[in-house]
Amino acid sequence: MTELTTALTIALPASVRVFERGWLSSNNVLLIDNDCAALVDTGYATHAQQTRALVQQTLGERPLDLIVNTHLHSDHCGGNALLQTTWPCRTLIPACEADAVRDWDEARLTFRATAQSCERFVFTGTIAPGAMLRLGALDWQVLGAPGHDPHSLMLYCAAERLLISADALWENGFGVIFPELEGESGFAEQQAVLEAIAALDVRVVIPGHGAPFTNVEQALERSFSRLAWLWADPARNAKNALKVLIVFKLLDVRATSFAALLEMLDGAAAMRAAALMLRPRGEWPALVKAIVGELAAGNGPLTVDGERIVAR
């Protein structure tokens, strides 16, 4: 886990603090003014103590007043519960997720589907595309960002030409297009989101992962190219999803066996769907060995010791 002091590299308003996090957590954006201290996205559950420490270090004796979640993948909302027990903060989530959170339906919330975890949290309000938020003494427009996740949102400050893009745009790509694994449209939505970003006047992007960046036009070109490549053969998206989810799990548990990984594929709907797009069920052992082998090649994120898979 690392913290990035963005003021040293990219000019941001004094009210905007970015904590650049390493995997497994998303970045956190702390927006501070006289009336409210708000945190956009809270990282993964196993890093919740680190998230709280970063916020406490910055706020001192001042409490956190508000959590805003761009979407409810576990790496963006996993710190909600601990922060809610630390401070009596309000929490805003995407409106379409309200029923799933209220009922704590882990299948609809994707935690079970991705073999990930998130401690139960509550919410006090919802946000949807078209809403306006006043955070960090700045006005932010809430924009829809379906593609990676059908309910995902972005925050755009026109006055500062600043975009909090979550997983809709990174400097070198974007998040896995999960709806396509379920037979639902996602590529077209991601294309539309990238086109919407291109139509905005953006000076700085604060992505969900990676450092804030200003080379927005080049980042969009790379993302359009990658999307076209994935769209041309959806199996590419499935393979990428399986790789991402396997690495995420290994970074969490640190080590597992091929047998346990195969069992996890059967129990996690998103992983199962991705695997079925690539090979019939009977060929999964060979598929997993091949994918893990690719992830262990060179300086990859995994190593293999017989039947044991270990995160570097």
Question: CB within 8 A of 181, min separation 6: which ones?
Answer: 237, 238, 241, 270, 273, 274, 277
- In terms of domains, do 17 and 119 share one? yes
Query: Average of pLDDT values for 199-215?
Result: 98
245-288: pLDDT as tens digits: 999 999 999 999 999 999 999 999 999 999 999 999 999 999 99
- In terms of domains, do 51 and 177 share one? yes
Contact 147, 177 (CB under 8 A): yes
Here the tokens at position 203 are: 């000076």
Measured CA to CA, the distance from residue 172 to residue 192 in angstroms comes to 18
User: Among 2-16, 99-113, 129-143, 247-261, whose mean pLDDT is lowest?
Assistant: 2-16
Measured CA to CA, the distance from residue 128 to residue 146 in angstroms comes to 12
Q: Strands of 229-295 (E only): list them.
A: 255-257
Terminal alpha carbon distance of the chain? 15
- In terms of domains, do 71 and 191 share one? yes
Residue that finishes a domain, picked among 232, 263, 288: 232
Please calculate the CA angle 143-215-4 and round it to the nearest 5 degrees. 80
- In terms of domains, do 89 and 59 share one? yes
Q: Please indicate, yes or no, if residue 217 is contained in any of the structural domains.
A: yes
Task: Tell which residue, 214, 180, 206, has the closest CA to residue 68.
Answer: 206
Query: Average of pLDDT values for 130-148?
Result: 98
177-201: pLDDT as tens digits: 999 999 999 999 999 999 999 999 9
- In terms of domains, do 92 and 109 share one? yes
Q: How many CB atoms lie within 10 A of CB 297?
A: 9
Q: In the prediction, which pLDDT does 41 show?
A: 99
Here the tokens at position 238 are: 């499935």
Q: Please indicate, yes or no, if residue 1 is contained in any of the structural domains.
A: no
| Percent of the residues in the chain that have a pLDDT greater than 90, as a whole number | 96
Instruction: Give me the DSSP letters along 11-44.
Output: ---TTEEEE---TTSPPEEEEE-SS-EEEE----
- In terms of domains, do 160 and 239 share one? no
Residue 7 reports pLDDT greater than 80: no
Q: Please indicate, yes or no, if residue 25 is contained in any of the structural domains.
A: yes
Which residue is it, tokens 């449209």? 185
- In terms of domains, do 268 and 209 share one? no
- In terms of domains, do 54 and 190 share one? yes
119-135: pLDDT as tens digits: 999 999 999 999 999 99
**How many residues are there in the chain?**
312
- In terms of domains, do 89 and 170 share one? yes
This prediction has a pTM of 0.96
Range of the domain at 136: 6-232
Query: What CATH number does the domain containing 153 carry?
Result: 3.60.15.10
At residue 4 the predicted structure's pLDDT band, cuts being 50, 70 and 90, is very low
Task: Tell which residue, 32, 68, 30, 24, has the closest CA to residue 48.
Answer: 24
Q: Please indicate, yes or no, if residue 17 is contained in any of the structural domains.
A: yes
Q: Please indicate, yes or no, if residue 201 is contained in any of the structural domains.
A: yes
Q: Please indicate, yes or no, if residue 261 is contained in any of the structural domains.
A: yes
Measured CA to CA, the distance from residue 9 to residue 211 in angstroms comes to 10
- In terms of domains, do 227 and 238 share one? no
Query: Average of pLDDT values for 222-235?
Result: 98
Residue 138 reports pLDDT greater than 50: yes
Contact 113, 248 (CB under 8 A): no
Residue that finishes a domain, picked among 232, 258, 287: 232
Here the tokens at position 188 are: 């077209």
- In terms of domains, do 49 and 181 share one? yes
Q: In the prediction, which pLDDT does 107 show?
A: 85
Measured CA to CA, the distance from residue 237 to residue 229 in angstroms comes to 9
Measured CA to CA, the distance from residue 108 to residue 94 in angstroms comes to 14
Q: In the prediction, which pLDDT does 3 show?
A: 42
Q: Strands of the chain (E only): list them.
A: 16-19, 28-32, 37-40, 66-68, 90-94, 125-127, 132-135, 138-144, 153-157, 162-166, 204-207, 255-257, 302-305, 308-311
Contact 311, 250 (CB under 8 A): yes
147-173: pLDDT as tens digits: 999 999 999 999 999 999 999 999 999
- In terms of domains, do 151 and 169 share one? yes
Residue that finishes a domain, picked among 215, 232, 249: 232
Total number of domains constituting the chain: 2
